[in-house]
Amino acid sequence: MEQIRALITDLGGVASKSRLAAHGATDRLLTAAVRSGAVHRARRGWYTVFPPGDPRHEAVRIGGRLTGASLLALSGAWLWNTPRLTVVVPQNASRLRPRHGATVVWRRGSAGRPDPADDARPPWADSLEEALVLAVTELPFDEAVAVLDWALVGGGMTRAGLADAFAGVSAARAAIVDWADAGSQSFIESLVRATFAALGHRVTVQVPVAPGDARRIDVVVDEAVAIEVDGRAFHADTFDADRRKDVAVAIAGRIPLRCGYRMVRDERERIIDAVHAIVARSDATSTAARRCRETRHAACLDGARWRLPPPRTPRRSDDRVGQAQGGRGDRSTSPGRNSAVGTIIRLRTDRPR
């Protein structure tokens, strides 16, 4: 039994019966392995070491590959919560096994079908590039930017790779790539950076506390506010060092402001108010920051919207997205109400506590 499990693990955790048979696995051995619980039969002709409920198992059970934010989450992408299960299948896919709460994406070609001959990626996974493009249409703007930051920092992608991944989509969708920054070192740092950049402020990350000082400030807004966004769990043993750093920041001419994980998640509007109050009293106030303050952008996270340039090219219609439980659905890939890109973008903070 363990021999069959080891074989499937070596093949990427999922394998077709025909591929296992080519490695010497007989029907008797496969049946015994399933009965013992060493492996699982996700669907007819497909076996996996991932248990039911695991996103990889569910993707194969439905009949496709894991994609979008649900694939990125397994890769360690920066996300608030466990995303909705999203599976890509070929346009001509049949005999799908719907799962309540899952989203199925139909794509031209065979990209969605697990292919035993495809050794470039696991048989349960879509490509990272395709998953990124789909994820930014599913996520709120700030979280989508954080995912792109993660792709540069920990996802093994380059800025040129991001540009190539988004080359086939509309200009409005591809515009979000310009927001990515490999300098961001954490999820909440990316969220804070995207928030204030979207409000028109001049934002830099990982700025030296002072010339010649090895210590870095997470986010600097308009050269006036030095925001540190590390949570208590990461700084419980550096309390005094953090306060010394705040003193050094103040001596260098900036106002230090510390924000924890929950503050960024649940109280971001208050953080914006604090930054605007500091910038308003600072000689470093920029034209963009002054304009933001005058138009009361502090309320933007509570529902206000602002527009990106209109798309310059027609939207591609290669994909069709629909609910797994409701059929193939609409033929468009419209980002929808909470889209990260398109002609309208919006930040939100209505995160579950």
DSSP H helical segments within the chain, as ranges?
Answer: 2-10, 17-22, 27-36, 55-62, 68-74, 128-138, 141-153, 159-165, 171-174, 187-198, 232-235, 239-251, 261-266, 268-280, 287-294
Q: How far apart are the C-alpha atoms of 353 and 105, rounded to whole Å?
A: 30
- Count CB neighbours of 44 within 10 A: 8
Residue 58's SS3 state is helix
Among 107, 136, 112, smallest CA distance to 124 is for: 112
Q: How far apart are the C-alpha atoms of 111 and 88, rounded to whole Å?
A: 8
What's the pLDDT at 307? 38
Among 57, 25, 64, 32, smallest CA distance to 42 is for: 57
Q: How far apart are the C-alpha atoms of 311 and 32, rounded to whole Å?
A: 56
Q: How far apart are the C-alpha atoms of 169 and 313, rounded to whole Å?
A: 9
Give the long-range contacts of residues 39-42, CB within 8 A, separation 24 or more: 39/1, 39/4, 39/5, 39/8, 42/14
The DSSP output letter for 77 is -
Q: CA angle at residue 51 from 50 to 57, to 5 degrees? A: 60
Rounded to the nearest angstrom, the gap between the alpha carbon of residue 22 and the centroid of all alpha carbons in its chain is 37
Residue 50 tokens, joined? 């991932």
What is the full DSSP assignment across 98-133? Answer: --TT-EEEEESSSTTS--TT--SS-TTB--HHHHHH
On whether the pTM is more than 0.75, the answer is: no
What's the pLDDT at 101? 78
| Residue in this structure with the two tokens 């934010």, named with its chain if needed | 69
Contact 151, 165 (CB under 8 A): no
- Count CB neighbours of 252 within 10 A: 16
Using CA of residue 353, residue 193, residue 173, residue 153, what is the dihedral sign? Answer: negative
pLDDT tens-place values along the chain, 353 residues long: 788 999 999 999 999 999 999 999 999 999 999 999 999 999 999 999 999 999 999 999 998 899 999 999 999 999 998 888 999 988 777 777 777 778 888 887 554 444 444 456 788 999 999 999 999 988 899 999 999 999 999 998 999 999 999 998 888 888 999 999 999 989 999 999 999 999 999 999 999 999 998 999 999 999 999 999 875 555 556 788 888 899 999 999 999 999 989 999 999 999 999 999 999 887 544 555 555 545 544 434 443 333 333 434 443 434 444 444 444 333 333 333 333 433 333 443 344 44
Q: What is the rounded average pLDDT for all residues in the chain? A: 79
Contact 112, 86 (CB under 8 A): no
Contact 248, 219 (CB under 8 A): no
pLDDT digits (tens, 9 = 90+) for 214-232: 999 999 999 999 999 875 5
Q: How far apart are the C-alpha atoms of 131 and 66, rounded to whole Å?
A: 8
